[in-house]
Structure formats: C-alpha cells, structure tokens
C-alpha cells in the first residue's frame, strides 16, 4: 500500500463492524504478492482506494457517466464504468461491472465460489459485491478486453450465465423458501429458477420499455421485499385453515416455549400474555382464547402471519397453499414510489406454472405495446387505469383488489355497458322536450 495515502479511509478501519477498507487493503496486498498471471492492472485495488480517498476529499464522485460496453449478443449484464482521473489512477481507467446470475436463495458450495474467486482474481479486480441489490453476484471492476474472456470462462468452465441490466427482465430473486423455512407456501426456489430459465431471452436482450422484476416471496412476511420492489410480486398464501396444535398453544401460555421463536429475548418483556400479544393484535379480531382453547375464525383471517410468527410451534400455515399475484411496485423515480397492487388473490403455484406464464405474457404484451420509453409497468397501470389492466389480464373485478371503492362517481362507462348503446336521435328527443 504505497501508491496512495488514504488518511480519511483509514478512519473507516476503526470500530467493530467489518471494514470494507481493511478488506480492500488485504486484497491490494494479495495482488502485490501473488504469482497469478494477472490479466488486469496489478494496482487496480490500490488505485480504487486512492480514487475513493480523493472522493472523500472532494465529496463528488469520480466516475464518468455510463459507458456502453457488453458482451456480444447480450444487451445487459455488464455495466460500463470509466474513472474521470485516469492519469492519476490508471489501474481503474476502465473498471466495468459484470452481473452474475445468483442461484436461487444464494446457497453456495465452496468449490463453486473458489472458481469464481480464481476467475475474478485473474481477470478482474478481485473485488465483488455479495450481492447486488437485485440479487446478482456483482463482479466489480475489469477492463474492456477482459469482458469477453470472463464471459467465456463463466459459460464454458463454470456453467454460469450473466444476470440482467437495462431495459431487460432483471435477474429474478426469491426468499429462502422451503429450503429452510416453515412458512413457505410454495417452492420459491424452484419457480425462481424455472422462470429465469424460461425467460433467458428477455433477461439478456433488452426489448422492454424499461426494467422488469419478478420477486418470489414464500409468505406474507415478505423477506425478499416483492411487494415493494417487483413489477410482478408472487407472494405465498393459503386459503384453508391455520393448523393449530392446542397442546403447543398451552405450552406457550404456560411459558414452556419462548414466544416468537425467542426473537425478543434481549429485553424483559414480562411473561407471555396470549390475550395481549396475539388475540388483541389480530388485525381482523378473528381469534379467541378461553383459557384452554385457541379459536380462529379462519373465514375472517387475512393471513397477516402475526399469530404464526409468535407461536410457530403451535400454529402452521394451511395446507391448500399457493400465491397472491400483485403487479406494479417500483422506487420513486419518476412518478413516486408504488407498491404492487393485488391482481390475482389466489393461484396454485405448481410446475409447469402454465397459468402464471400465461399471465406474464399477457402483461408483457400489453406493456410492450402501450408503455412509453422508461415507463415501469406500475406507472402504465396508473396512467391507463386498473380496469384496463384487468381487461388485459382477462380477469373479473373483485373487491379484494381494492382498499375501498372509488369516492368520486366519474365512471368511464363503455358503450356496451348501456343497453342499446350510445346512439340516440336528437330529433326524437326534441319531440318530447322543447328547446
């Protein structure tokens, strides 16, 4: 570490939380010492530290705007990046990002990750993001000539493809699901992989008005944030009864089992009070406790998960499981933040997922036809109305889709809504009604 002094960044080596600066420094040192035949500038990590130090002084970023690079035949997966001080920091002159499509719910073998490390040490900066916001493994920083080399090695040696960027289908992501969660209402990992494979063309070749995200949450707890972050949110639910183990309920009440899986053990909240902590907090007031037996009037339950979260050993999700399908979430740019709107209250989610794929394709056809450049699906639905969206999806209106009925009476009636249509004769009218 001799190329650049980094007194400001050194302040970020203090404190208990893992220091990314310390980690970068250890990588810089490893590059200095390595006998690997590095295909990228040896000093790139040191220069990145130097560039970041300069940014900490200037408080304005030192990366140029964009940069159009990629691998042949793909319109996404690579983000071009050029430093605006290349003379001082030649190691990061061109420093492009590659997005690598993560496996469903991010389990790995050390064997696989070591292959990624070996590739990226030699042909990249040795720096990554585990993971990017959408879920991909981010390989952070390489030179233009290395892009094709990395892609070749990924596809040939690691059996691994890139993820999405730009106006593509973005890399789908899912929660941990049935792999290690008792709340999973469908197999999020399986469908996430199946959809990623089905829509490879959409993922790699930009043909949409803007980005499109699928996110698969196994239950209404929403660990992968589908309702806030996905144009199409698939959120697990069930339509029969919550399964109750009355003995286990008594064990919770008797203090034998820690409520909420022990999640509140850092503070003394007093003994578990089922009335106060479960019955009274139920948003639909559909539960009762008479001192011996827990009652749930399932017809009125809206499956918020609270009681199940509090007493996971006593209560289980129902057995007739599937998912609710919602559309249109996005961050604020441009028309303001939106969450997804409930469109299909319940659908079974089973291979080969034909019903869901049909719906996806109807929605894509509509959005591709009607969406403006850089208009997210949620904005299009706002612009043209939810009624139009239902028509596109070939769905009937259902009170479950709304928070409340409209309060203004300005209904856009269609001609076919009125018996006999809209054709009238003003002369006939005048026969009965004088001017």
Partner 1 sequence: MGYDPSDPLKDRITDIGPKDYKEFLPNVIKENYGKWLYHEILEPGVLMHVSETGGKVYTVRVGGCRLMSVTHIREICEIADKHCDGYMRFTTRNNVEFMVDDEAKLKPLMEDLEGREFSAGSKKFPRGGTGAGLTNIVHTQGWIHCHTPAIDASGVVKCVMDELFDDYQDMRFPAQVRISLACCLNMCGAVHCSDIAILGIHRMPPMLDHENLDNMCEIPLAIAACPTGAIKPAKVDGKKSVAVKNERCMFCGNCYTMCPSMPLADEVGSGVALLVGGKISNRISEPKFSKVVVPFIPNEPPRWPSTVDAIKKILNAYVDDAKKYERIGDWAERIGWERFFDKTGLPFSEHLIDDYRFAYTTWRQSTQFKF
Which residues 167-196 are close enough to bind partner 1 by CB under 8 A?
A: 171, 173, 175-176, 178-182, 184, 187, 189, 193, 196
Tokens read off for 224: 């992968």
Pairwise CA distance, residues 38 & 33, whole Å: 11
Pairwise CA distance, residues 332 & 309, whole Å: 31
CA distances to 65, 150, 353 from 143, rounded to whole Å, are 16, 10, 41
Pairwise CA distance, residues 182 & 179, whole Å: 9
Q: Sign (positive/negative) of CA torsion 249, 254, 257, 263?
A: positive
**Of 2-10, 344-352, 359-367, 424-432, which part binds partner 1 (CB under 8 A)?**
2-10
- Tell me which residues in 316-355 interact with partner 1 (CB under 8 A): 316, 329-337, 339
- Per rule CB under 8 A, is residue 297 in the interface with partner 1? no
Cβ–Cβ under 8 Å, residues 212 and 374:
no
- Per rule CB under 8 A, is residue 12 in the interface with partner 1? yes
Nearer to partner 1, 201 or 417 (CB): 201
Nearest distance, CB of residue 200 and partner 1, angstroms: 4
Tokens read off for 64: 């140029």
Nearest distance, CB of residue 299 and partner 1, angstroms: 18
Pairwise CA distance, residues 411 & 300, whole Å: 31
Nearer to partner 1, 72 or 412 (CB): 72
**Of 123-131, 289-297, 353-361, 394-402, which part binds partner 1 (CB under 8 A)?**
123-131
Show the CA angle centred on residue 90, arms to residues 84 and 91, nearest 5°.
110
Nearest distance, CB of residue 25 and partner 1, angstroms: 8
Nearer to partner 1, 10 or 350 (CB): 10
Binding residues with partner 1: total (CB under 8 A): 144
Interface residue with partner 1 among 32, 200, 256, 402 (CB under 8 A) is: 200
Interface residue with partner 1 among 48, 78, 169, 253 (CB under 8 A) is: 48
- Per rule CB under 8 A, is residue 400 in the interface with partner 1? no
Cβ–Cβ under 8 Å, residues 329 and 229:
yes
Alpha helices in 205-272 (DSSP H): 226-229, 246-253
Convert residues 373-392 into a mask of x (bound to partner 1 by CB under 8 A) and - (unbound). Answer: xx------------------
Pairwise CA distance, residues 152 & 163, whole Å: 15
- Per rule CB under 8 A, is residue 264 in the interface with partner 1? yes
As beta bridge partners, residue 169 has: 212
Nearer to partner 1, 103 or 347 (CB): 103
DSSP 171-201: PPEE--GGGT-TT-SS-HHHHHHHHHHHTHH
Interface residue with partner 1 among 2, 35, 37, 65 (CB under 8 A) is: 65
Interface residue with partner 1 among 5, 133, 297, 368 (CB under 8 A) is: 133
């Amino acid at each position: 570490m001799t190329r650049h002094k980094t007194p400001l960044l050194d302040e970020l080596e203090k404190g208990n939380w893992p220091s990314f600066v310390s980690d970068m420094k250890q990588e810089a040192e490893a590059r200095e010492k390595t006998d690997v035949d590095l295909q990228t500038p040896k000093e790139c990590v040191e220069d990145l530290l130097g560039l970041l130090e300069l940014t900490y002084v200037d408080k304005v970023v030192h990366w140029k705007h964009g940069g159009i690079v990629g691998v042949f035949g793909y319109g996404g997966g690579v983000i071009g990046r050029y430093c605006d001080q290349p003379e001082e920091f030649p190691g990061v002159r061109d420093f492009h990002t590659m997005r690598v499509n993560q496996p469903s719910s991010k389990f790995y073998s050390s064997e696989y990750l070591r292959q990624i490390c070996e590739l990226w040490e030699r042909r990249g900066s040795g720096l990554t993001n585990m993971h990017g916001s959408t879920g991909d493994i981010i390989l952070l920083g390489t030179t233009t000539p290395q892009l094709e080399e990395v892609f070749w090695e990924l596809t040939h040696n690691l059996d691994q493809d890139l993820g999405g960027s730009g106006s593509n289908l973005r890399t789908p992501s899912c929660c941990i699901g049935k792999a290690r969660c008792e709340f999973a209402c469908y197999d999020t990992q399986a469908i996430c992989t199946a959809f990623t494979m089905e829509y490879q063309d959409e993922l790699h070749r930009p043909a949409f008005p803007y980005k499109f995200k699928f996110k698969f949450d196994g239950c209404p707890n929403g660990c992968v944030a589908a309702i806030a972050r996905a144009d199409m949110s698939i959120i697990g639910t069930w339509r029969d009864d919550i399964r109750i183990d009355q003995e286990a309920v008594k064990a919770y009440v008797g203090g034998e089992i820690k409520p909420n899986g022990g999640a509140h053990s850092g503070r003394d909240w007093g003994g578990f009070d089922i009335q106060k902590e479960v019955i009274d907090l139920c948003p639909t007031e559909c539960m009762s406790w008479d001192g011996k037996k827990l009652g749930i009037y399932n017809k009125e339950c809206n499956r918020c998960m609270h009681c199940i979260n509090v007493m996971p050993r006593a209560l289980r999700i129902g057995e007739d499981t599937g998912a609710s399908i919602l559309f249109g979430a996005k961050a604020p740019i441009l028309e303001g933040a939106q969450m997804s709107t409930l469109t299909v209250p319940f659908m079974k989610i089973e291979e080969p997922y034909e019903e869901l794929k049909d719906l996806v394709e109807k929605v894509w056809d509509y959005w591709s036809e009607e969406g403006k450049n850089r208009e997210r699906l949620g904005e299009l639905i706002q612009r043209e109305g939810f009624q139009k969206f239902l028509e596109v999806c070939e769905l009937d209106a259902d009170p479950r889709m709304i928070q409340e009925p409209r309060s203004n009476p300005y209904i856009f009636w269609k001609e076919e809504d009125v018996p006999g249509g809209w054709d009238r004769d003003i002369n006939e009218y005048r026969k009965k009604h004088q001017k």
